[in-house]
Amino acid sequence: MTKRKMGLLVMAYGAPKCEEDIERYYTQIRGGRKPTSAMVEHLAARYLAIGGLSPLSKITTEQVDALVTMLNQVQTDICFIPYLGLKHSEPFIEDAVQKMQAEGITEAVSIVLAPHYSTLSVKDYHNRASAVATDVTIHSIDSWYKEEKFIAYWAKAVRDVYEQIPVSEQAQSVVIFSAHSLPERIKQMDDPYEAQLQETAELIAEGACLKNYTVCWQSAARSPEPWLGPDILDCTKQLHQEKGYRNFIYAPVGFVADHLEILYDNDIECNEVTTELQSNYYRAKMPNTNEVFIEALAHAVLAKIK
């Protein structure tokens, strides 16, 4: 039996692939406005602090490979052809869609490697893809944070951290669920982003039998407009002051891979704050290419086309 061909458009944020790419990448993030030399030096220093560059590009490619392999193994009707499209680095989203069309793909399903939907993030990915999709029909997945295996992955990841903490200290432990902050103006857009993160935290807390947990935001950009809060660093200090927690377990559930926001904003900045508070820093492992996580993505794709 001949399998039906379908494109699998996987979209992600992107990252510089070498040191020479940093300024160009930063310019892209800023909508074409070139950053100052001081800004470039600051970003380069952050990359240097985590080993030189972000591992995100490599991990994203591995995630796409793992997802398409699984999709083509678990069903026999469709042959998925993978296309990677990035928001801020090559190959750009538009490049991926145009390549798909040039190769004769007329139907595709798209998924963004971000579990929660927002008009300022996931919607933008979909809009960029659809703007150039003249000869291909794309079935877009808006969010997949409710996927059972996504919740199961994080529940186990958090439980694994708790096992490192002595039982006598677990009452003094708190899980901080976080996602990338966005400008506060999404509140006026009837945007589901905040509610989806809260629901994610509640589902994971239930699965992991957590009593002490909270939700906050991290990695806000430096801009004049206000961003969603509370900020993760301020939240850590407040929890220590008001609740006396001494073990802080960070679960950045809005992200899917080890990259700058995790390896620097969490592992360096949050770690520094907990050290100042004479407390302990823990972080749950990121999904990366974990099989349970890839199964969650595969289920979301198959559910969309069914």
| Res 102: pLDDT | 98
| Res 252: pLDDT | 98
Report how far residue 199's alpha carbon sits from residue 9's, in angstroms, rounded to the nearest whole number: 27
Provide the β-strand partners of residue 216. Answer: 178
DSSP strand pairing (173-180 vs 137-140) = unpaired
| Res 224: pLDDT | 87
Give the HSE-up count for residue 121: Cα atoms under 13 Å, Cβ half-sphere: 24
| Res 1: pLDDT | 66
pTM: 0.96
Q: How many CB atoms lie within 10 A of CB 75?
A: 15
Residues shown for the chain: 306
In this structure, which amino acid lies at residue 108? A
| Res 223: pLDDT | 83
Residue in 286, 119, 291, 117 with CA at minimum distance from that of residue 189: 119
Q: Could you tell me which residues come within 8 angstroms of residue 287 by beta carbon, excluding any fewer than 6 positions away? A: 153, 256, 257, 293
Tokens of 141: 């997945």
DSSP strand pairing (213-218 vs 173-180) = parallel
| Res 306: pLDDT | 87
User: Does a cis peptide bond (omega within 30 degrees of 0) precede residue 115?
Assistant: no
Which domains are present in the chain? Answer: 4-144+290-305 (3.40.50.1400), 148-283 (3.40.50.1400)
CA 253 to chain centre: 7
CB 282 within 8 A of CB 170: no
* CA 110 vs CA 8, 45, 114, 175, 278: distances in Å: 6, 34, 12, 32, 45
Give mean pLDDT in consecutive 10-residue pieces for the chain, a chain of 306 residues: 92 94 94 93 96 96 98 97 97 98 98 98 98 98 98 98 95 98 95 98 98 97 92 98 98 98 98 98 98 98 96
Q: How many CB atoms lie within 10 A of CB 236?
A: 26
